[in-house]
Homo-oligomer: A and B are copies of this chain.
Amino acid sequence: MAGPHTARGRARAQMLTDIKQQALRQLGEEGAAALSLRAIARDLGVVSSGLYRYYANRDALLTALIIDAYDDLTAAVDTADADLAPSAFRDRWIARCAALRRWALAEPARFQLLYGTPVPGYRAPEDTVGPAVAVDAALVRLVADAAAAGALRPLPAVGSEVLEAQLERVAVGLGLAVPPAALAVAVSAVGTLVGLVTLELGGHFVGGFEPVDALFAHAVGDLADRLGLPSGPA
């Protein structure tokens, strides 16, 4: 392995990102299933077999793209409320949810890569689990913060021992202290966000709710209500 301080090392790093960048361009135009190493090589002015110096095969490239996408989405969600007062939990929730949608609309193909139909013949390796969970964690963390600040409305128990146990296990897995009932709302909130964005990207709202902004904002506000998030210090 050449270090990053040799010309080779720098060229290699550049090429790795060039490949991903071209892959993303293709992804945006044709969808993940049509992602082709030969087309990427063509666009880069390189012979297709040359790519195997950088990625072991097509699946390895897909995995890299998936991990990058999770990381980007997590970062988008996590930084969305940077300008808001830490105690403005409701506004922060809204900002984070909106960031998820904004990212998805800006990068539909990458969103579909994460939450759409599994790519035929591709099986996501373990490495993608951590980055995938980080997205959920970015939303749940806010709820945990609100809980720590005593800013969550007390919710009725979930009323299912199985679910209660699962929720506790997941909270531990995330390393976050969230009351089970609140976590249940947060997780199904992730479902709502993913579902609404999926429907929007799939054109299911065309002719009805387009633009979807108002519907999405209402749904997000509703979720905040269920969590009992207060607007903050005003």
A166 interfacial by beta-carbon distance below 8 Å: yes
Chain B nearest Cβ from A119, distance in angstroms: 8
Indicate if the CB atoms of B170 and A188 lie closer than 8 Å. no
Instruction: State the majority secondary structure of interface residues on A.
Output: helix
User: Which residue of B33, B115, B170, B222 contacts A31 across the interface (Cβ within 8 Å)?
Assistant: B33
| Least CB separation from A185: chain B residue | B222
Indicate if the CB atoms of A118 and B188 lie closer than 8 Å. no
Q: How many residues of A contact B (CB 8 A)?
A: 52
Q: Mark A172-205, 1 if CB is under 8 A from B, else 0.
A: 0100000000001101101111111011001110
| Least CB separation from A217: chain B residue | B160
Expressed in whole angstroms, the Cα–Cα distance for A34 and B32 within the complex equals: 12
Chain B nearest Cβ from A101, distance in angstroms: 11
A132 interfacial by beta-carbon distance below 8 Å: yes
A117 interfacial by beta-carbon distance below 8 Å: yes
| Least CB separation from A225: chain B residue | B226
Query: Which residues of B sit under 8 angstroms from A158, Cβ to Cβ?
Result: 218
Indicate if the CB atoms of B117 and A208 lie closer than 8 Å. no
| Least CB separation from A117: chain B residue | B116
Expressed in whole angstroms, the Cα–Cα distance for A124 and B203 within the complex equals: 10
A115-B199 in contact given A121-B30, A166-B214, A192-B188 (Cβ < 8 Å)? yes
Expressed in whole angstroms, the Cα–Cα distance for A209 and B185 within the complex equals: 13
Indicate if the CB atoms of B34 and A188 lie closer than 8 Å. no
A214-B121 in contact given A191-B219, A222-B188 (Cβ < 8 Å)? no
Question: 4 tightest CB-CB pairs across the interface, nearest first?
Answer: A195-B195, A116-B117, A33-B33, A191-B195
